[in-house]
Amino acid sequence: MTIPALLLSALLFGGMTFFSAGFAPVLFAQLPEDRARPLLRGTFPSYYLSVIVLSLLAAMAATLVDAQAALLLAAICVTTIYARQVLMGQINAATDRGDRRAFGRLHGASVVLQLGQIAVAGWALVRLA
């Protein structure tokens, strides 16, 4: 089970890192903001769902290899469910009503959460390597 746990964790870490550091910045660099924002907003439900599924599968595979790594990966799954089901809706609502202050606070929280999740995925990956 080491190889599946390692591959799933690597895919999770790489996907999260690419989305945050590659896809989103390039989208804003290549499109006007009024086109980039709705496009990025539309990608989040699928992105979050993929993180939920990958982190759950990685946690299950890691259970037999390293209990701490499995817990770390499960924590990513749970916090991503929160981000998808609660935080994303709050961010979208703040955007829709033009509340820049609430948007900034909520978006900042989502960025901190995402960076923390990437760090945790990296930590789990190192433990499994």
Would you list the domain boundaries of the chain? 2-128
Q: How far is CA 58 from CA 7, 41, 79, 107, in A?
A: 8, 26, 15, 27
Tens of each residue's pLDDT in the chain, 129 residues: 699 999 999 999 999 999 999 998 999 899 998 999 999 999 999 999 999 999 999 999 999 999 999 999 999 999 999 999 999 999 999 999 999 999 999 999 999 999 999 999 999 999 999
Per-residue pLDDT, 100: 95
Residue type, 39: L
Tally helices (H) and strands (E) across the chain. Answer: 6, 0
pTM of the model: 0.93
